Amino acid sequence: MNAAGITGDSSSSEHVSGDWYSVPELRLRDHRFTAPLDHSRGPHSSPKITVFAREVVAVGKEEQTLPYLLYLQGGPGFECRRPTESSGWVQKVCEEYRLILMDQRGTGLSTPLTVSSMSQFKSADELADFLKHFRADNIVNDAEFIRVRLVPDAGPWTILGQSFGGFCTVTYLSFAPQGLKQALITGGIPPIGRGCTADSVYRACFEQVIHQNEKYYKRYPQDIKIVQELVNYLAEKEGGGVALPSGGMLTPRGLQTLGLSGLGSGAGFESLHFMFERVWDPTLVPGASKRISYYFLNSFEKWLAIDTNPLYAILHESIYCQGSGSRWSAGRIRTEVEDKFDPIKAAREGRPVLFTGEMIFPWMFDEVHALKPFKEVAHILAEKKDWPPLYDAQVLNNNKVPVAAAVYYEDLYVNFKLSMETASQIAGIRLWITNEFMHSGLRDDGCKVLDHLLGMLNGKKPLF
């Protein structure tokens, strides 16, 4: 087996730890665990994968007895950011805890599923059967596998879940609450209804997306004409778009996906606006035809980051599925509001072209170069109906684990109303409802967010 691959050998060491090393004001140590691909089959009959976790402490605290805190990254399909210094929420956590940054299975150094590595599978059916093991249920199983081998006396740890990591936290509370001392959630309380909740998610999401578009164009009204002009330019091109540096296509509907990051994160509006400043090449030679700048095309592709993390697109709607398929929910629900979101019609009628939000559409597997090989497997997963449960409402109703959650009132990604519905079913949860931050609050001011949540659990913040 290579450092992060898959094996059928059960005799290899289950846990290998490295030596301590340094970044400014932090000490780090790497851990690699050989875990079952399918935890339900047990440790001996299932193929194995590597799950990577990085231990982080403040300098000088390597040998101190500290409580453990596990961080679960947003996604799905994204690894933990690599710490380069002691700052933000990492610095805050390391004041009191031994921080564990676990790359969720399929990301980072945890048997990464990339465009190249997934090409090893011989058929879409074979890959789909493999990918069904990469949802929140098995991420929690991996966390428990690590906890009992890493934490002294297999004691419980505190967990911090951001966005999709919060979804995983609620799964943890449902199926392995004995492993948790406390739970912190930032912008990540999921809908927990049976079946597939994606339709209700996207109906609520489109409503919030319209609101965010209105706010964006109110701040940058000059961008209305710029985006209209760009949409008309793309629509008039042969094939309905222009080639991207990677080999994909930029189309009017593809352009709308810039809202995924631009409308919902701190400084997103500003980043989107400044990107449109450089949409056109200058005319250096009289009579030269008008062209979209390479700068803009390259920025567009980097904006999505799907090429390096294709799991985000392939598994996205499955995070809402329990015993039912999503059937390309975002695309179906979009047809209900297409009169507002048709980019070509809007541009030609002189209306603002609306951007979309956190939505994956089937046509993206035709237009995004990195996703083209996975079009068939994406369709198989969209139609899959026998997804196992991700939550247990009865267990959550009787929850005993202290939980504190930051709920962002204008969250574009995790709808406020749906979050509140779920929160009402988690016994004992304490909520901090705020419009001071967008979905990226933990990244934007992690010290303040964590200080508030920890204060709610340790008695520093009043109950009412």
Which residues are catalytic, by number? 163, 386, 439
Q: How far apart are CA 69 and CA 80, in angstroms?
A: 14
What H or E segment, with its residue span, contains residue 36?
strand 26-36
Residue 197 near residue 325 (C-beta atoms within 8 A): no
* Token pair of 309 as six digits: 């993390």
Alpha-carbon distances of 252 from 70, 236, 343, rounded to whole Å: 41, 10, 6
Burial grade of 85 (CB within 10 A; 0-12, 13-18, 19 or more): exposed
For residue 76, is the peptide bond before it cis, meaning its omega torsion is within 30 degrees of 0? yes
Residue 270 near residue 319 (C-beta atoms within 8 A): no
Coil, helix or strand for 410? Answer: coil
Q: How far apart are CA 434 and CA 449, in angstroms?
A: 10
Backbone angles phi, psi at 407, to 5 degrees: -115, 120
Q: How far apart are CA 294 and CA 271, in angstroms?
A: 17
**E strand segments, 131-200:** 157-162, 180-186, 195-196
